[in-house]
Structure formats: structure tokens, C-alpha cells
């Protein structure tokens, strides 16, 4: 695997675009395996004094306001996912990434998972099923650790489960053997530039498949169903439906079937709440059937799976109130799913960074719910608050203030949920930092032992 990637890079004039965590990982890989490789590091910031590169006399640097100019002079541009190229013409650029380089050499062993929401949960369920079936597997991708940092682990893996973001998929020209799209909602427009381009990025996971590859998609999502019907993808279509169907994985008479094979009852005991998570589990069951794994071991794995952190995670019960952290809910649809899944939500804390996505219908959904208290935070929460009943709205500038209000107003035997329906970057480094702070505020002195 590593030797094949070396061959793809050898003799090329390479630009590393973006020198964050993944850019540094790419640099280290090239210097380890191609010591004299021709590298230019391109970043808006001057990174020439970074400890990793400051003593490398062979590396070149390009930075500043015009750092994206003249990219066509490089044979290969290895782009970090966070760099947006929405404002430049990329038609003459040879852009790749760590994800694509891995797919180039190992795509037959890759199970790729994407979608606006549910990627992490579904990827982890699939990975756990493989491990519990004694399959040598690695879980990697959009999870904070660069793919190149995991290559040695992947060398002997039978399957590599990769969570794939739209940022990672944007320029790929190779698709995985098993590709999965869970859903499509409006998101990441600040990076993609338009909803159409965002969907186009997601489509790459199916676009380059061959006729013996598999494309698993949740057909109850109308945006996704339309995408599949409007494109001539080569892969074997495996729709996932919560209703009756005659192919793929579906529910009939309260039983789950794959094609015409009975798998289990619909009410399989799960630690995951909500219909959307049942759908995620059905996707994982479809993978198990495609790979012909032991269904008994698969079902046992699914039953034992625990929710991922920050997604419908029960923080604890304080003064007879259940507190849930759901900071991975960065779009309104995810918050709606969370409210439906928990069921007895009395207080909702929401709001975050305004990225220009649509909140049409979200206020109406909240008004029609049984929630009594809406604690609205900047920026999006303040905007939506104007459409909600005034006597149910509380404006909180900080999470500390929001938690104080929640503890005061939430009824006993009911639930309070932090589900922002927005990104957390306006006040926090990321969703995890916001989630951890919420846990501390809810649990008080017990927070360190309950994290």
C-alpha cells in the first residue's frame, strides 16, 4: 500500500495545500518515503518557521493573500479538506488528497460512509460489526486523525471503514467498493458555495464505481432518492427504506428484510434512540449481508453498540431531569430528529454560528412540538426566537446562562437537550468543546467522573 502511494508521488512537483494537521501529515509521509521529493507548502499563513519544516532546505513556501494563485504550475496538489477552492477555476488543476491516494491503491477494501448526518454513528456500527465477526478492520477518515497516520495499521486490514466528509470527497476521482450515502440536507454552504455543489461533492462516493461495486442509500430521503434516480451510476443499488420495498433492505410486517431474506424483527433492542438511528442500523445490516457475515454475531454487535459522544448522549439525571448533549446536531433536521427520538423534551437549548443555511420550517416544527421552553443562543437562536411564542422564549448570551435557565424551568421527570441546529464555532473551538462545557455545567462537581 505504502509502496504504491510512493509510486504515485515519485518524480512529481508537489504542492501541499494547507499546513494544518493533515498537511503536516502529508509532509511527514513524503519526507519519510521520498526524502528528496520536490515539495512546496502553500498556506495563507507563513509556516516556514514551523518546527517541523524550518530546517528543511529543500522545501519551498508560498503564503499570503494570493497563496492560491498559479496553482497550475504543480504536477500534483495534495489538498487538505479545510481549504475551500470555491472561488477559483480548478479545471486545469491536478488535485488529490490523502483520501484519494488511499482509494487509488486500496479502494477494493474500502467501505465509505458519507451523508449530512449520521456518518460517525453508522461508520462505527459497521466497524464494530466487522470486529465482532473477527474481520481485521480499521476505522478512519473524517475523525481528526489524518489517513496517512494510519497507513501502517491499514496494511493488513481486510476492510477499511472510512467516514468521508463532503470536503474530503470534493475532488476524488476514485470511489470505494462499498459506498454509502445516508442523507442529504443543506449544510456546509460556506465551503461548497452552493447547495448543488455540496450535493455534487457527496455524489463522488458513487460516481466512479464499477458494476460490481455497491451503492447503499437511504431512499426515504427525497433529496438522495432524486440524486440516485437522476444519475446513471454503475454500482449495484441497495436502497434502505423504513417502509415496504422489493429490494435492498426494508421493513415489512414489522420485520427487517434484505432482499427477500428475513433478518430480524423491527423492534430489535437498541441503545440508539430514534427512527433515524434504526435507519443507520439497517445500513450497517445491509453491509453485513453484502459481506455475508454471521447474522447472529452482527445482531449481537448492533444490540451492544453505545451512542457516540455528543450525539444524543445522556449526560446524566440531575434533580430528576434528564440532560442530553447533542452538539453534533449542526443543522435543523438533526435537531428535529433528536427531539423526536427523545420524546419527552421539555427544554431545548439551541443556536450557534450562522453559516447561511436555511431554517425554513424549523420554527414551525418547534411551535408544533410539545416543548415548553426554548433557550435561544447567538447567532441563529436569536433569529429563530423572533418566530417562536414570546412566553416560551429565553435569550441566553452564554452556555452558562442557558444552563442556569434550564435548571430553573425544566420540569421534573422530563428532559433538557442541548441540540444547537448550528455549528459551535462562534463561541467554541468545536462541537466537542461545547459539549464538554455543557457536561461540566450540568454535572457540577461530578463532571470529571461522569465525562
pLDDT at 424: 93
Q: Is residue 154 part of a domain?
A: yes
pLDDT band of 358, cuts 50, 70, 90? confident
Domain containing residue 129: CATH number: 3.40.1190.10
Number of H helices and E strands in the chain, helices first, is 17, 20
Largest pairwise CA distance in the chain: 68
Instruction: Encode pLDDT of 363-372 as tens digits.
Output: 999 999 999 9
Q: Do residues 355 and 286 both lie within one domain?
A: no
Q: What is the pLDDT of residue 445?
A: 54
Per-residue pLDDT at 204 exceeds 90: yes
Is 83 within the bounds of a domain? yes
Write out the three cell numbers for 111. Answer: 467501505
Asked if the structure places residue 131 within a domain, the reply is: yes
Q: What's the chain's average pLDDT?
A: 92
pLDDT in tens, 13-60: 999 999 998 999 999 999 999 988 899 999 999 999 999 999 999 999
pLDDT of 302 reads: 96
277 in the same domain as 191: yes
pLDDT band of residue 193 (cuts 50, 70, 90) is low
CATH code of the domain containing 437: 3.90.190.20
Would residue 414 count as lying in a domain? yes
The pLDDT assigned to 190 comes to 55
Q: Same domain, yes or no, for 159 and 283? A: yes
- The pLDDT of 267-283, averaged and rounded, is 92
> Across-strand partners of 161?
111, 139
Residue 451 placed within a domain: no
Domain annotation covers residue 365:
yes
| The most confident of 208-222, 301-315, 431-445, by mean pLDDT | 208-222
pLDDT of residue 448: 41
DSSP assignment of 126-146 equals: HHHHHHHTT--EEEEESSSS-
Which of 338, 346, 345, 316 is closest to 410 using CA atoms? 346
Q: Does the residue 450 lie in any domain? A: no
For the stretch 57-83, pLDDT in tens is 999 999 999 999 999 999 999 999 889
Last residue of a domain, one of 277, 304, 331: 304
Tell me what the mean pLDDT of segment 284-301 comes to: 97
Q: What is the mean pLDDT of residues 239-262?
A: 93
- Closest listed residue to residue 114, CA positions, set 142, 74, 155: 142
Tell me: do 299 and 325 sit in the same domain. Answer: no
End of a domain among 304, 324, 354?
304
Out of 12-21, 171-180, 233-242, 268-277, which region has the weakest mean confidence (pLDDT)? Answer: 268-277
pLDDT band at residue 185, thresholds of 50, 70 and 90?
confident
Report the range of poorest mean pLDDT among 103-117, 190-204, 429-443: 190-204
* Helix segments in 386-450, DSSP class H: 399-409, 431-443, 447-450
Q: Do residues 286 and 351 both lie within one domain?
A: no
185 shares a domain with 75:
no
- pLDDT band of residue 244 (cuts 50, 70, 90) is confident
* 179, 76: one domain: no
Asked if 42 contacts 16 with a C-beta cutoff of 8 angstroms, the reply is yes
Do 326 and 398 lie in a common domain? yes
Grid cell, residue 326, equals 447533542
Q: Is there a contact between 24 and 39 (Cβ–Cβ < 8 Å)? A: no
What range does the domain containing 233 cover? 99-304
**Quick one: pLDDT at residue 186?**
74
pLDDT of the residue at 447 = 47
pLDDT confidence of residue 246: 78
pLDDT > 80? residue 450: no
Structure confidence at residue 430 (pLDDT): 92
Q: Does residue 390 share a domain with residue 367?
A: yes
Q: What is the mean pLDDT of residues 419-434?
A: 93
How far apart, in whole angstroms, are the C-alpha atoms of residue 148 and residue 82? 16
**Residues 375-398: pLDDT tens digits?**
999 999 999 999 999 999 999 999
User: Structural domain tally of the chain?
Assistant: 3
Residue 449 covered by a domain? no
pLDDT at 451 over 70: no
Strand partners of residue 370: none
Do 111 and 77 share a domain, yes or no? no
Looking at the fold, whether 260 and 190 belong to one and the same domain comes out as yes
**Residue 69, domain CATH:** 3.40.50.720
Helices (H), 231-344: 275-290, 295-304, 332-342
Q: Are 270 and 329 found together in one domain? A: no
Domain boundary among 96, 113, 141: 96
How far is 441 from 389, CA to CA, in rounded Å?
27
In the chain, % of residues over pLDDT 90: 80
Amino acid at each position: 500500500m505504502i509502496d504504491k502511494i510512493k509510486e504515485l508521488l515519485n518524480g512529481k512537483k508537489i504542492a501541499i495545500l494547507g499546513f494544518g494537521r493533515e498537511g503536516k501529515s502529508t509532509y511527514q509521509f513524503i519526507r519519510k518515503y521520498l526524502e528528496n521529493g520536490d515539495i512546496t507548502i502553500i498556506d495563507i499563513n507563513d509556516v516556514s518557521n514551523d518546527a517541523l519544516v524550518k530546517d528543511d532546505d529543500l522545501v519551498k513556501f508560498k503564503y499570503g493573500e494570493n497563496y492560491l494563485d498559479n496553482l497550475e504550475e504543480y504536477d500534483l496538489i495534495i489538498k487538505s479538506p479545510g481549504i475551500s477552492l470555491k472561488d477559483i477555476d480548478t479545471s486545469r488543476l491536478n488535485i488529490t488528497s490523502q483520501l484519494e491516494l488511499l482509494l487509488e491503491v486500496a479502494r477494493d477494501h474500502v467501505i465509505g460512509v458519507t451523508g449530512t448526518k449520521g456518518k460517525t454513528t453508522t461508520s462505527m456500527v459497521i466497524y464494530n460489526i466487522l470486529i465482532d465477526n473477527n474481520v481485521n478492520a480499521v476505522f478512519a477518515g473524517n475523525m481528526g486523525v489524518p489517513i496517512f497516520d494510519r497507513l501502517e495499521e491499514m496494511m493488513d486490514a481486510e476492510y477499511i471503514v472510512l467516514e468521508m466528509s463532503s470536503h474530503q470527497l470534493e475532488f476524488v476521482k476514485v470511489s470505494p467498493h462499498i459506498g454509502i450515502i445516508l442523507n442529504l440536507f443543506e449544510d456546509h454552504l460556506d465551503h461548497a458555495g452552493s447547495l448543488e455543489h455540496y450535493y455534487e461533492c457527496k455524489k463522488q462516493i458513487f460516481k466512479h464505481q464499477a458494476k460490481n461495486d455497491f451503492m447503499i442509500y437511504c431512499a426515504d430521503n427525497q433529496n438522495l432518492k432524486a440524486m440516485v434516480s437522476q444519475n446513471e451510476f454503475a454500482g449495484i443499488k441497495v436502497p434502505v427504506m423504513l417502509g415496504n420495498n422489493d429490494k435492498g433492505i426494508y421493513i415489512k410486517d414489522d420485520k427487517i428484510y434484505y432482499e427477500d431474506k428475513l433478518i430480524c424483527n423491527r423492534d430489535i433492542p437498541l441503545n440508539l434512540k430514534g427512527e433515524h438511528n434504526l435507519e443507520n442500523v439497517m445500513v450497517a445490516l445491509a453491509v453485513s449481508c453484502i459481506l455475508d457475515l454471521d447474522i447472529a454475531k452482527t445482531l449481537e454487535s448492533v444490540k451492544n453498540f453505545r451512542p457516540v459522544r455528543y450525539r444524543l448522549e445522556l449526560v446524566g439525571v440531575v434533580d430528576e431531569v434528564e440532560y442530553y448533549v447533542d452538539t453534533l446536531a449542526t443543522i435543523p433536521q438533526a435537531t428535529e430528529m433528536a427531539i423526536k427520538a427523545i420524546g419527552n423534551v421539555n427544554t431545548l437549548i439551541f443556536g450557534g454560528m450562522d453559516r447561511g443555511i436555511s431554517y425554513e420550517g424549523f420554527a414551525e416544527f418547534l411551535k408544533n412540538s410539545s416543548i415548553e421552553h426554548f433557550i435561544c443562543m447567538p447567532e441563529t437562536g436569536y433569529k429563530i426566537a423572533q418566530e417562536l411564542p414570546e412566553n416560551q422564549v429565553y435569550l441566553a448570551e452564554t452556555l452558562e446562562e442557558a444552563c442556569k435557565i434550564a435548571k430553573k424551568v425544566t420540569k421534573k421527570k422530563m428532559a433538557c437537550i442541548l441540540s444547537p441546529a448550528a455549528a459551535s464555532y462562534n463561541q467554541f473551538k468545536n462541537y466537542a468543546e461545547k459539549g464538554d462545557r455543557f457536561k461540566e455545567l450540568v454535572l457540577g462537581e461530578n463532571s470529571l467522573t461522569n465525562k
